Amino acid sequence: MSEPPTHKPKVTLEDLLRLKRHERPPTEYWARFDRELNERVWRALAEPGESGTGMFFGWLGRRTRWLSLGAVSALALAITWFGNMQMPTIVAGKVQPVQVASALVTVKALPSPVINNSDNDNAQALAVIAENNLPAISQPTQVAAQVLDSSNLAGFHKVPAMLAFATGGGAGVSYASDALANPAFSARIRGSAY
């Protein structure tokens, strides 16, 4: 430890404390911070149970008509993706951890019994999409999302999994069942390879 200076400098405690206001990380730090936080937020969303999606969407679901996972898995949705997402690094031969992203979607077609529950085919609502190695997508991009293993919608990308989607209904918003809360479904996502 260094010795105190022989003469006291003309600086006050308040001066030093004010100087601490300027102790900030460099600008480039925030890009990494945002990326890490984004991953952690979506990982938190993807966690089943009280701490994860079940919690978040469970709260949303109180106002909604939930749909069964069976109904969800029968769907193919055409959606317009407005969201940005950080793509995972793909390691050959390995299935990557689930990557999730949210997006506002426009439900264009609901060829399933679910459509009968919606008053408005074009409603916008929140969707949560999970995928593992989806190629980079420029936005807005038409994406076919589905739970089953393939999509027959021409001109659409395959998306390994569609986890949750929403349909508009009157003044409120209704959300489809959150498949991430289902461990079996989650396992299927993780195992998907395209």
Partner 1 sequence: MSQLFANAKSLTTTHPEHAVEAEVDWALVQRVQAGDVKAFDQLITKYRERLYAIIYNLTSNREDTSDLTQEAFIKAFRSIRHFKGESSFFTWLYRIAVNASLSQLKRNRLRRFFSFDNLDEEVSKGELFEALTDRMQTDKPSLIKELQEKLNEALQRLSLNHRTVVVLFEIEGLSHQEIAQVMECSEGTVRSRLHYAKQQLQSYLQDYLS
Quote the CA–CA distance of 14 and 156 in Å, as a whole number: 61
- In whole angstroms, give the CA distance from residue 163 to residue 15: 53
Closer by beta carbon to partner 1, 24 or else 155? 24
Nearest residue to 145 (alpha-carbon basis) of 182, 180, 114, 107: 107
Among 71, 129, 137, 173, binds partner 1 (CB under 8 A): 173
Whole-angstrom Cα distance, residue 160 to residue 147?
7
Nearer to partner 1, 59 or 154 (CB): 59
Closest to partner 1 by CB, 14 or 152: 14
Note whether 25 binds partner 1 by CB under 8 A. Answer: yes
Tell me phi and psi for residue 115, to 5 degrees. -60, -25
Tell me if 149 contacts partner 1 by CB under 8 A.
no
Binding residue (CB under 8 A) for partner 1 from 69, 74, 95, 104: 104
166 in contact with partner 1 (CB under 8 A): yes
**Spatial contact of 46 and 180, defined as CB atoms under 8 Å apart:** yes
Asked if 36 interacts with partner 1 (CB under 8 A), we say yes
Q: Which stretch binds partner 1 (CB under 8 A): 39-47, 115-123, 131-139, 151-159?
A: 39-47
- How far is residue 42's CA from residue 57's CA, in Å, rounded to a whole number? 13
Which residues are CB-contacts of 47 (< 8 A; sequence separation ≥ 6)?
53
Which residues sit at the interface with partner 1, rule CB under 8 A? 2, 4-5, 8-26, 30, 33-34, 36-37, 40-41, 44-45, 51, 55-56, 59-60, 83, 102, 104, 125-126, 166, 173, 175
